[in-house]
Structure 1
């Protein structure tokens, strides 16, 4: 009996670790819950329940006595490689290719791994994407370079300000303000010609596209709390970007 209880606690820790990695990396709520319950089922626990919100995970196992644990999730980012790797481990567990201890060690390695591109490459990608978005929104090619500079500097700004003030709203507001100011200066100096197109293209790397997509998918899957909270977070980001640009335009 004692060994069974100990094994159930180890399964619970494994499920919570998998759910934590996925939630922190940008996975949808229903995907996190489904993965946790599939892992528990693969280790012989048929009666398990998971409840996931953007800021926490509750996981319980039926039994005598029932076991429940809560973990908090404070930092969330986008790392879909980690989501894919956790899903791969879940499939290996289901096919009995991994033991409990091996799966836990594999998840620990994934948790502490990093798949981000170098920061300079992220800045270059944001700059090129800004210029391409300008063209997509029917801007002129002569505004391509100003949009690149504004978009690249916008990503540098949001990263820098987020390190100083760990509140996304203020970091995004200040980054959007700088983008608007740079775009206005480019127009004044004669390097840019269509202010609206330059601004629209430059702020696109800041738009929370994955967050909006996950909010809609969670709502469609019936996870109303997670869907609405992610939607509210996306709205705050959009409001911060719009407010930063509006402040610049109000002084023109």
Structure 2
């Protein structure tokens, strides 16, 4: 392969890697990679994407390239930024080298809100979810407190413990204990509404949505694996709350 072909492959793989790590659907990653390759004069490229890896080849003569994905998060801003670069490539506005440097800037950028800001948003959302699930206004502030404590716990334990789903289990356990305590002292009235509202920021809504969309697009392996991931996360949340009720 010449240098230009190598650079085009690097651009496609980097774009797919950023999107997959940022929470994009499998079919969207494959489509973006193939569109970029086609815009650079490689219409016969093929890509195979799973939640843990990307396999890409330009034609039957060139060796396939593979990238392993070990970390995944939710950063839809990066997904949108990669889509913008893909559109610029499709309009012939970027050569492979320029596109690669733009993608590298996107990969290294961090536009996430600070932990205190995300915790405050999760706390407020917990209170709103409690009201939405027909809770009483007296439970609004307890839900805010429990939701903030739960999100703080999940953020902390994700850094300290590498075991998957452990942080969600501990966070929901803390939410259950704190909710029970607040109801016991009379600060809240409906225990179930407080807990339901407080655990909502932990629910893997994006993973469930992506799993369904991948299944509908025919990506059975990715859809089932993402669905299993979401199910285990939801099970960990439910198990943490169930342990609290067991100890009552």
Give the TM-score band, short-chain normalised: over 0.9
Per-residue Cα deviation, 1:150-176 (whole angstroms, up to 9, x for no partner): 000100000111111122311110000
Cα distance in 2 between the residues matched to 1:123 and 1:15: 35
- 217-226 vs 160-169, greater mean Cα deviation: 160-169
Cα distance in 1 between the residues matched to 2:146 and 2:64: 49
Q: How does 1:46-65 map to 2 (within 5 A)?
A: 46-63=43-60, 65=61
Q: How does 1:94-243 map to 2 (within 5 A)?
A: 94-243=90-239
The reply to whether residue 85 of structure 1 matches residue 59 of structure 2 is: no
The reply to whether residue 11 of structure 1 matches residue 8 of structure 2 is: yes
Q: Give the drift of 1:239.
A: 0.3
- 15-24 vs 157-166, greater mean Cα deviation: 157-166
Cα distance in 2 between the residues matched to 1:78 and 1:122: 13
Per-residue Cα deviation, 1:118-159 (whole angstroms, up to 9, x for no partner): 111101100000000000000000000000000001000001
Cα distance in 1 between the residues matched to 2:166 and 2:101: 38
Q: Give the drift of 1:46.
A: 1.3
TM-score, normalised via structure 2 length: 0.98
Show the counterpart of 1:28. 25
Structure 2 gap segments, 5+ residues each: none
Cα distance in 1 between the residues matched to 2:198 and 2:162: 23
In the alignment, which of 29, 34, 38 is matched to residue 37 of structure 1? 34
Q: Give the drift of 1:61.
A: 1.4
- Secondary structure in 2 matching 1:211: helix
Aligned residues: 248
TM-score, normalised via structure 1 length: 0.97
Q: Give the drift of 1:22.
A: 0.2
Structure 1 gap segments, 5+ residues each: none
Root mean square deviation of aligned Cα: 0.8
Show the counterpart of 1:66. 62
Q: Give the drift of 1:7.
A: 1.6
Cα distance in 2 between the residues matched to 1:108 and 1:115: 15
- Secondary structure in 2 matching 1:67: coil
